[in-house]
Structure 1
Amino acid sequence: MNARTDDAARRLAREAAQWLALQDAGGLSAEQRDSLSRWRERSAAHEALWQKAEALRERFSQVPAPLAATCLDRPDPDRRRLLGQALAVGTLVPLGWLGYRQLPVDSWRADLRTATGERRGLTLPDGSRLQLNTASAVNLDFSLGRQRVQLVAGEIAVDSAGSLQVQTRQGLLRAGGASFCVRLGGRGCAVSVSRGQVDLQPLSGPGARVDAGQRALLGASGIGALQPFDAQLPGWQQGLLLANNQRLGELLRELRRYRPGLLRWDPALERLAVTGTFQLDDTDRILALLAASLPLVVHYRTRYWVSLTPRENTA
């Protein structure tokens, strides 16, 4: 990093620290909140740094303010070391843990991340549109002519304005003027293309091209068979969860991604069939709708500890 770039990064860090201090000093006025929103929207770098500032405040309540400012102000190697120190001395906020239960340490350190149940969208420096689904994290690299997004955790949707790369731990995706989703999972990285074409290159083995209306599983040593899907169906990008004669267990496993805390169900409910369109912004309402249409009961021990059991037949 040259001196000019370093000075710009430090100036941006100071601005983020000043906004954070002003917010914590007693809240922001409506005018100040609007100014902060405009500051965050100036660039992806502004938004990424603000998220880092909030992450330090939210997750480590005992970290001194000077350490937080230094973490924002340092190049990556030192910043990561200081974040490690913060982990050693910080106290996790219980509800914060519930919100971030799916995010490992690498995600806390990422440039952009979402909590469980949160979705976020922004415009990248090249004009591409990026959306993060629940419990997701990315790093951005748009320096020295690079146009790369590294998917650290979770799922993203990309509407690329031009040549763009997405790096995952299984391999590399290359797209030009395409719309696609990338989701990390235990068996690999699922790639679904709704517009244009995306080239997949695993860490080892031959690559493949995925066209609009196709999806494939990218593994570190190969690519699964191409499969068709209906690219016109709405999904999480529109805040919706769709089920068409789907097993309840499958729906609940997907729903669990959007709810902080514990969601459990009796195995007897696993094979019940569900059809419907549900709003992801209100997962409690989804559970209530399921209870109204299926023979099950929802039990709340707390807001974050929920279980589903079969409804007893009283007839």
Structure 2
Amino acid sequence: MNRDVARAAAQWLALLESGAATERDHAALQHWRDSHPQHEQTWQRAQSLRQRFSDLPQALAMASLDRPQPGRRAVLKRALGVAALVPAAWLISRQLPLDAWRADLRTATGERKRLPLADGASLQLNTATAVDVAQRRVTLVDGELALTVPGTAALTVDTRYGQLRVSQAEVCVRQLASGCRVSVLKGAVQVRDLKGQLATLQGGQQASLQVSGLGAWAPFDVLQLGWRDGVLTAQNQALGDFLRELERYRPGVLRWDPSLESLRVTGSFRLDDTDRILSLLASTLGLELHSRTRYWVTLATRDTTV
């Protein structure tokens, strides 16, 4: 099951259980369920989990019904909210690799880290990334890393789809559901696929490392790597693609009207303030920004009511 789908299902469940869902929210949920068979399957699983936990809020409610004081009601409301989120959190955790929680180093959504390694090498972790670090070896468990190795002593990067050997080079590796995107900024990086076949990527080249092997190389867009400096850059990019990338750095739910997909975006945006990025997009493109909460935001056309 795709963990992004599982996360979306959990967020929808939490919204419905909060009691704040509107008719439009219910319609949007139905549209999401109908848009792909996996969405409906995941939603049914979420509902099944919710029923499994249903006794907890009922018990809390029964214990508080005969004590209607405002303080008791407030406690009950908070308790019900927590209880409603239990299966949602459990559903998300089931989809996240256990190794990511056990990893030596992790970043949360929106967090980035820079770490020194031996012999002057340095490691950067992008949002929602997990790695294990041993002597002369880094294992990318999940997410995206950038590695700089200035010396001749090679450092090995292990991924689910193969292995990289890096010396006197700079490389970025992003692990996706279908493979790894390997981008070499400087120097040359030796790549070994799961079949043991070797290839070399030179500076300025990018290729996909998959179960089937290393794909054909192509020049990469250096703008993709702006996250290393805390910047997300778009050059006449489709708004839908830009927002999907922005979602990686923002906790919670980010939605937008499908009619906005093909709008074009150009600019450089600081990743340390995603609220400001959304405000700038709304102002520049003439859109409405609707915030149900800090973690539930929708972009829409000005004549759309959310």
Q: TM-score, normalised by structure 1?
A: 0.64
Which residue, 148, 154, 164 being the options, matches 1:159? 148
Q: State the shift of 1:215 in Å.
A: 0.5
Match of 1:182 in 2: 173
Match of 1:193 in 2: 184
Which residue, 83, 88, 98 being the options, matches 1:105? 98
CA RMSD of aligned residues (A): 2.2
Match of 1:256 in 2: 247
CA contact (8 A) 2:137 2:156 kept: yes
Q: Does 1:148 align with 2:137?
A: yes
CA contact (8 A) 1:134 1:155 kept: yes
Match of 1:285 in 2: 276
Distance in structure 2 (CA, Å) of the matches to 1:277 and 1:305: 24
Identity, in percent, stands at 56
**Residues 230 and 246 from structure 1, CA distance in 2 versus in 1: closer, same or farther, beyond 3 angstroms?**
closer
Q: State the shift of 1:233 in Å.
A: 7.8
Residue type of the alignment partner of 2:140? L
**Residues 183 and 248 from structure 1, CA distance in 2 versus in 1: closer, same or farther, beyond 3 angstroms?**
same
Q: State the shift of 1:241 in Å.
A: 0.4
Q: State the shift of 1:292 in Å.
A: 0.5
Deviates more, 1:193-202 or 1:101-110: 101-110
CA contact (8 A) 1:135 1:154 kept: yes
**Residues 189 and 234 from structure 1, CA distance in 2 versus in 1: closer, same or farther, beyond 3 angstroms?**
closer
Q: Does 1:297 align with 2:288?
A: yes
Which residue, 113, 127, 131 being the options, matches 1:120? 113
Residue type of the alignment partner of 2:302? R
**Residues 203 and 212 from structure 1, CA distance in 2 versus in 1: closer, same or farther, beyond 3 angstroms?**
same
Distance in structure 1 (CA, Å) of the matches to 2:198 and 2:255: 39
Match of 1:241 in 2: 232
Structure in which a larger fraction of residues adopt helix: 2
Query: 5+ residue gaps in structure 1?
Result: 1-90
Q: TM-score, normalised by structure 2?
A: 0.66
Q: Does 1:266 align with 2:257?
A: yes
Q: State the shift of 1:104 in Å.
A: 3.5
